[in-house]
Structure 1
Amino acid sequence: MVVQSKHFLNTSPSLVLDSLEGLCAINTHLALDPIHRVVYLADQDRSKVALLCGGGSGHEPSHSGFVGQGCLTAAVCGNVFASPSAGQVRRAIDLIDNETGTIIVVKNYTGDVLNFGLAKEEYAARHPDKADRVKFVIVGDDVAVGRTQGSIVGRRGLAGVCLVYKIAGALAQAGASVNEVYDVAQYVSSRLGTIGVGLDHCHVPGTAVPDIHLGVDELEIGLGIHNESGHSRISPVPPLNELIPTLLEMITSTTDQERSFVPFKNDGTDRVVLLVNNLGGLSELELGGVVAEVRRALDKSGIKIMRLLSGSFMTSLNMPGFSITMLLLPAANDTGTPSADLILSLLDDSTNTPGWKWSSRSVPKPTSISSPLPTATHAKAWSASLKAPDIDQFNSAVARACRALITAEPEITRMDNIAGDGDCGLTLKGGATAVLEALNENSISGNDVLGSVITISRIAEDAMGGTSGALYSIFFSALAQALAKSSSSIATQEVWCTALEAALVRLCTYTRARPPSRTLVDPLAAFIGALSSGLAAAVVAAGEAAEGTKDMEAKAGRSAYVDSIKLKAERVADPGAWGVKVVVEALAQ
């Protein structure tokens, strides 16, 4: 099948900003920060909870198209299929800052979780009095990713997140507290199931014309919205009345141990909100046929549709395909949950959100053959009250660790060429070089341990970037928060132990990697866990954990996508884990 590879644009790099300017020109209640590519409500009611979302562009109308009264307050837009940076997200949080609270909603993709999470943690570090009023919701609704495959990373976020936007946004508009909005958003997220299907992958503007992915009479079930390969392929393309029941079974089954994510009863009492989503390249004629067939299949199964929505909500550029999302409503006798009536009323509430499609706001009738810019809050300066027991020793240790990473770059790069995408060594070298410069400029010093940790966190974000930079920056940002709570004026081993343990716990809220996972978390957790027994013991534990990744099957990180047989045959350590080993060994010299 031929993929559309021609596009109307000025240049590929300018396309995202040009599109956002067009969106705001059409919808005059929206404002745009062009530098950070943040779309936000021009006239925000700051007495109410704000909702922030975002992610890579190419999914329009998500994410920017869901900014409006009764939905999102702001959206942050990255490049096509690429997460926005934490700096962009920080700007968005400041633009919608308020005294009531902010809910950040992201799809379950590593880049989004890390960069939005990093921005949240940095905001909390700068505004500890508001830290509890910024909540984080991660939505993963893809049932194509089974429990075994997604045991660490979890389900991907698809079109179901749009229902979370609308329901949580309407509740916030009604004046609910930040905790009330957060609880409902979490509940709705837990009741979502989505499955996508496509006739081919999409084409990213500015890239080479791809080889043909699928045959002329072949489709793919469970493909991702970033051109990720799917769960299975079928040839020849079956008629809808054969395809749709297969797709619905993946959402509603309670016997498939890999995909029974949503607690359907399948006894005739289930009630759902149905969303049929155009992935970008499907004609309205075909989409209407899909809706009709899904409706017939659900009627036959006894599942009652309480609301039906259809259209382009979460696209994948020009992908010729669709996805089906079902939100399972609570039963009448369920306790401790929001009521079905409340959820439906929030979906039905009026909104001026451009991406929210028209719906009848009622139960579908039986089928028949005939019928008649605000200013950002300034950060408070940190007090330089926490000092190292030996300032010169602290500074020397930091310098040693940086020089060791720079020296180890070729070996780490070699490892990552086998186990990843080849950039880990250069990423760590870039961060180490920037830390050395800050040390020489006295921006990092044992005279101000807390300020030094904050500086390292920012360097990790700016000089490293990507997944590694976000992981390190989140960890050091969390470490700074923990150190700030210490009543001691000296950064003793006990102070470090307590703070490092807290930072590891916080880091683990943004990554599902747990030892043993063949990631940097392995030696990091080993080091922190053994530190109470002394630095020497902690270094040994970290080294053993890093060495152990050579014979370990990857459960998270980029190595999870590399053939495990090849990794074991090469006996190459995880490059991120090796970087941690290099750092702690240099610190202890």
Structure 2
Amino acid sequence: MVVQSKHFLNTPPSLVVDSLRGLCALNPQIALDEANKVVHIASPNRSKVALVCGGGSGHEPAHPGFVGEGMLTAAVCGNVFASPSASQVRQAINLVDNDKGTLIVVKNYTGDILNFGLAKEHYAAAHPEKADKVKFVIVADDVAVGKTQGSIVGRRGLAGTCLVYKIAGALAHRGASLDEVYNTAQYVTSRLGTIGVGLEHCHVPGTAVPESHLGAQELEIGLGIHNESGFRRVSPVPPLNELIPSLLEMIISTSDAERSFVPFKGGRQDRVVLLVNNLGGLSALELGAVTGETTRALGASGIKVERVLSGSFMSSLNMPGFSITLLLLPGASETSAPSSDLILSLLDQETSTPGWVWSSKAQPSAVAATSRVALASDSNKSDTKLKAENPTIFNQALKKACEALVAAEPEITRMDSIAGDGDCGLTLKAGASAVLKKLEEGVITGEDVVGSAITIADVAENNMGGTSGALYSIFFSALAQNLITSASGSEATSATWEKALRGALDRLYTYTRARPPSRTLVDPLAAFVSNLSQGFTFAVKAAGSAAEETANLAAKAGRSAYVEGERLRAEKIPDPGAWGVKVVLEAL
């Protein structure tokens, strides 16, 4: 698998400051000390506890994206994946200095602990009267590092750190004391478990392009947010309904001596907050599927999910992966712990930070299965039935055409990856596969070509979608109508088909501006219909020539109209939709 190694930037060294300037433009309530790379609230309330955090850049929105009222007071940013220096941290502490105290929260990485700790000690030495006004919390939530392996260094800090920021920051905003904020942060830290998984490592701007780490069908479990290798690779990539339960087990297990970090009791006694984190390169579409499957898997295990958070919290530049964090809420018998109602209310509390994602502030509802209720007008049956002249040959020909379209998917997809958006082959394959199923079920049959045309129109609408699906659905709906009006008996003769196809094409023209030559599926379709009077074979050859000729045409309609014309002509790529029509007609 090839790692994404191209980036939008001025220069690699200026990227961090350039990004921080953009963040300040987005949120006028914050300010930037460029020399020290410190983002801070411009006018902090000095009667409340301040929260300082930070670490290497490349994990956005963590950490500067969480600076704002109700969360962090300042964030100190190092270079990409590199801890900031102690002098940078010291400047942040000075910027937020107040009478109530400061809480420093860092992830469990040696550089962060040393530099933030050193800054704390320097501050205490310079202000002995305030030595007890700065406290230190280290977050270590990674369950991939077992107890034996991490016996000295401990677990790494991952996306669970963001929950500590939110809860501690909201509590400080309410006016709580330094001890209250510190104790609550420490408690939350002890109840966190996170596991990450990626399809590839990320690329650091300005560095050499690495060789691929993982195979095309391989993923890695437990990799770190600084490109540290994980502890296990899996191939082939399993479906989410297999992968997610295995990841959750690493967090919630009560029997794994290496990874039972969080005191889960098992079953319905446990209540959690779920955070699904995009590691930087995962599409929103995939992240939604991960969130849904994780929520479902937790419910199946008997664990009650009180809140769901999903989005980018702590990334690893452009890593294509995600992490799952569970915060185990206190049980009713834990009288010395902060109440679960308090923790949930702090998570739900509004904040002005641009990095914190929207949440429902409620328990997730059960996902109800929805069913499509067909209206009377949706029926794929017609009162008028026409038989093909030879129903058996009709069925065989249609089956052959669909199989040809399925087989042509890779080539059509290749064409569309250059000439369009890359989905044409899969769209046509989905339609053809659905028609094959209807043929096997006897719903599409030469015994009823009108009903078959209506069914194909329904398949195009519901199984293909997009522009192609709509065009095919309109065409076959119109074909069904014209077969009825064109028939003079109980069989669909050649004359019936010719007249019905002309009428269907005319109806299609009322919904699209494409006319031949247009570099669309209309080109071969029109060539076929207009030449049918000279025989089926002649018409198919004309359609094939029209489809091939699209390679020499400038696009006037469809997705290809947005692609640079010279490239299309240089590549000699025919229109993928037109090629699909050619494949179908030649197979017929």
- CA displacement at 1:366 relative to structure 2: 1.4
Matches within 5 A, 1:27-426: 27-370=27-370
Task: Give the aligned partner of residue 436 of structure 2.
Answer: none
Q: How many Å separate the matches in 2 of 1:367 and 1:263?
A: 29
Count how many residue pairs are aligned between Structure 1 and Structure 2. Answer: 372
- CA displacement at 1:370 relative to structure 2: 3.9
Structure 1 residues 501-525: Cα deviation after superposition (integer angstroms, max 9, x where no partner): xxxxxxxxxxxxxxxxxxxxxxxxx
Q: How many Å separate the matches in 2 of 1:117 and 1:57?
A: 19
Task: Give the aligned partner of residue 432 of structure 1.
Answer: none
Q: How many Å separate the matches in 2 of 1:247 and 1:289?
A: 15
Q: Percent identity?
A: 75
Q: How many Å separate the matches in 2 of 1:350 and 1:333?
A: 29
SS in 1 for 2:97: coil
Task: Give the aligned partner of residue 579 of structure 1.
Answer: none
Task: Give the aligned partner of residue 16 of structure 1.
Answer: 16
SS in 1 for 2:82: coil
- CA displacement at 1:267 relative to structure 2: 2.6
TM-score (norm 1): 0.63
SS in 2 for 1:84: coil
Q: How many Å separate the matches in 2 of 1:370 and 1:7?
A: 42
- Let me know the Cα RMSD of the aligned residues: 1.0
Task: Give the aligned partner of residue 2 of structure 2.
Answer: 2
Q: How many Å separate the matches in 1 of 2:277 and 2:3?
A: 20
Q: How many Å separate the matches in 2 of 1:357 and 1:370?
A: 28
- CA displacement at 1:333 relative to structure 2: 1.9
AA aligned to 2:197 is: V
SS in 2 for 1:229: coil
AA aligned to 1:104 is: I
Q: How many Å separate the matches in 1 of 2:234 and 2:267?
A: 30
Q: How many Å separate the matches in 2 of 1:310 and 1:354?
A: 15
SS in 2 for 1:17: helix
Structure 1 residues 42-65: Cα deviation after superposition (integer angstroms, max 9, x where no partner): 120000000000000000000000
Q: How many Å separate the matches in 1 of 2:154 and 2:199?
A: 25
- CA displacement at 1:232 relative to structure 2: 0.2
Q: How many Å separate the matches in 2 of 1:253 and 1:96?
A: 41
Q: How many Å separate the matches in 2 of 1:146 and 1:355?
A: 31
- CA displacement at 1:343 relative to structure 2: 0.1
TM-score (norm 2): 0.63
- CA displacement at 1:274 relative to structure 2: 0.2
- CA displacement at 1:332 relative to structure 2: 1.4
- CA displacement at 1:369 relative to structure 2: 2.1
Query: For structure 1, which runs of at least 5 residues remain unmatched after alignment?
Result: 372-589
AA aligned to 2:294 is: V
SS in 2 for 1:295: helix
Q: How many Å separate the matches in 2 of 1:66 and 1:237?
A: 33
AA aligned to 1:18 is: D
SS in 1 for 2:47: coil
Q: How many Å separate the matches in 2 of 1:270 and 1:230?
A: 28
SS in 1 for 2:138: strand
- The answer to which structure, 1 or 2, has the higher relative contact order (CA under 8 A, 6+ apart) is 1
SS in 1 for 2:165: helix
SS in 1 for 2:36: coil
AA aligned to 1:243 is: L
Structure 1 residues 404-433: Cα deviation after superposition (integer angstroms, max 9, x where no partner): xxxxxxxxxxxxxxxxxxxxxxxxxxxxxx
AA aligned to 1:307 is: R
SS in 2 for 1:78: strand
Q: How many Å separate the matches in 2 of 1:158 and 1:232?
A: 18
Q: How many Å separate the matches in 2 of 1:292 and 1:347?
A: 20
- CA displacement at 1:334 relative to structure 2: 1.1
Structure 1 residues 297-326: Cα deviation after superposition (integer angstroms, max 9, x where no partner): 001000011000000000000000000000
Structure 1 residues 53-106: Cα deviation after superposition (integer angstroms, max 9, x where no partner): 000000000000010111000000000000000000000000000010000000
- CA displacement at 1:344 relative to structure 2: 0.2
AA aligned to 1:2 is: V
Structure 1 residues 168-190: Cα deviation after superposition (integer angstroms, max 9, x where no partner): 00000000000000000000000
Q: How many Å separate the matches in 1 of 2:2 and 2:140?
A: 31
- CA displacement at 1:238 relative to structure 2: 0.4
Q: How many Å separate the matches in 2 of 1:231 and 1:243?
A: 15
Structure 1 residues 376-423: Cα deviation after superposition (integer angstroms, max 9, x where no partner): xxxxxxxxxxxxxxxxxxxxxxxxxxxxxxxxxxxxxxxxxxxxxxxx
SS in 2 for 1:135: strand
- CA displacement at 1:269 relative to structure 2: 1.4
- CA displacement at 1:367 relative to structure 2: 1.5
Q: How many Å separate the matches in 1 of 2:327 and 2:267?
A: 17
Q: How many Å separate the matches in 2 of 1:356 and 1:8?
A: 24
